[in-house]
A and B are shown apart, each in its own frame.
Chain A
């Protein structure tokens, strides 16, 4: 077939499209490179001063009062600990909840429920959009709900009960706060990640071929045995990747955590989940690196950001690697 001659307008549009797409791709690259560059440059003084010791040195964060000349000391362990603990706790909670919601929506929910007379509704059709709605909830709103609802509830009910029953275990030790704690931050993060894991795992479970499910049920498997024996193993790596995406969100979340975590920035790491803590992201959100008390404090905040960046990149890469494994398995 002879190639159709392009008229001038076609050629221009083609070129414009190519330039636009290439430009957009390049812009992404430039933006990422600029972020990394800014963070590293910003952290420069702190890296020079503390080196890798920043990751292990005392967690005190003591910018000097105006005019004072005491030696400044900054360190990351408290915040790294807070990030790891809140992320992992929320990951555990939200995996259980999110996968359960996904299973309900994709498999367990009855197709139709008759509500008397001619009203028939599909539970999955009702709840599915709510999951997406929850996923779109701005994090600052979730943080506000954390402050107004979750913290008082934790303070009045959850904390005393857990302390009374499990208080002898260090991680459940007595609380002194108004509810602000690593545990409260994990709860808010859980609300945030659940819809991500629920929506993604629902799609994965729905994609399990009906023949496989029929095959299991035709062998005398109960629904639970079918789920445990076929649906979950087949989707395992996909669900893991979904959880890692949720984890990526939890690791980097700043505002909502900052509102409920307690903002601790002094002293040693304590075991109790029910005491105030802090995370990398919430520490940065609470202390604007653009207007630090001293240059070194600003640089140290950038250093925290660098660590956070590494955390996030590692979780995203892990998610991609696992998801790639998943695709390979399904061919």
Chain B
């Protein structure tokens, strides 16, 4: 697809243009972030800001470090052998990897939904109630579970079988359940790691519609390899690719409209027009 097509697509106004240059609160601030796994540099020199109540998409070819970066945001890489983060990564001004940072507290505020739906082998209710119970939010649990399931657009489908196993749900329902599970503890940020890649188009559409609702309340960072999806859901998009040393790095970061219609970097242009990746 050519840049012109994108331009038409975007300028036709299918996406509401965001209020021009509204002062946005910075949620994540990455400053020359790098990631090493042992002797391998997976990510190099990534600097950008992620803003509040925006959906920010991370796109790029396979192995470009977009998922690695996402998992740095809630410290899910910590348990990987040899993982080491360089540079500076802050969340609301707090150093995510500083001595003061508490991994468990970080994850409580920054929820995550994975590529493959991973409901616990428990009932639907127990899945959503699991984290609140764990964190001692036991008051009015029923209402909390209902609220989370409604927010994840799943309530009407499961309200009559909350006690049955979550494994009996379809893939798309399981993924929305995982979203409900994540928002049941009212996080500040939702990280979505290719949340629709294992789903059929209808389930994908429902997840994307959900993201539009959710970003009113949460800051969303979504990794996707589907550029159409980035265009459909994201306010801002970061394009990652490999640098000359085969390490992933940030090439370009801009509003989704601008990045897909008038990319500043030739590599972005090549990627979004299908000439590379």
Contact = CB atoms under 8 A, between A and B. Distances in A.
B118 A220 contact: no
Interface string A211-222: 110111111111
A111 interface: yes
B111 A218 contact: yes
B114 A220 contact: no
A234 interface: yes
Contacts of B118: 209, 211-212, 214-215
A233 B122 contact: yes
Contacts of A112: 81
Contact of B185 (A111, A212, A217, A220): A220
A234 B120 CA distance: 9
Given A219-B107, A220-B104, A225-B134, A214 B181 contact: no
Interface in A221-279: 221-222, 225, 229-230, 233-234
A329 interface: yes
Contact of A215 (B74, B105, B109, B120): B120
B108 interface: yes
Contacts of B131: 219-221
Contacts of B130: 216, 219, 229
B112 interface: yes
A230 B76 contact: no
A220 B105 contact: yes
B59 interface: no
Interface in B101-119: 104-105, 107-109, 111-112, 114, 116, 118-119
B145 to A, nearest CB: 14
B39 interface: no
Given A111-B81, A212-B118, A234-B121, A221 B76 contact: no
Q: How many residues of A sit at the interface, in one of the four size bands? A: 20 to 34
A220 B81 contact: no
B104 A218 contact: no
A221 B81 contact: no
Contacts of B76: 214, 217-218
Contacts of A225: 134
A256 to B, nearest CB: 39
Contacts of B122: 233
A157 to B, nearest CB: 41
Interface in B42-94: 74, 76, 79, 81
Interface of B: 74, 76, 79, 81, 104-105, 107-109, 111-112, 114, 116, 118-122, 130-131, 134-135, 178, 181-182, 185
Top 3 nearest A-B pairs (CB, nearest first) are A220-B108, A219-B131, A211-B118
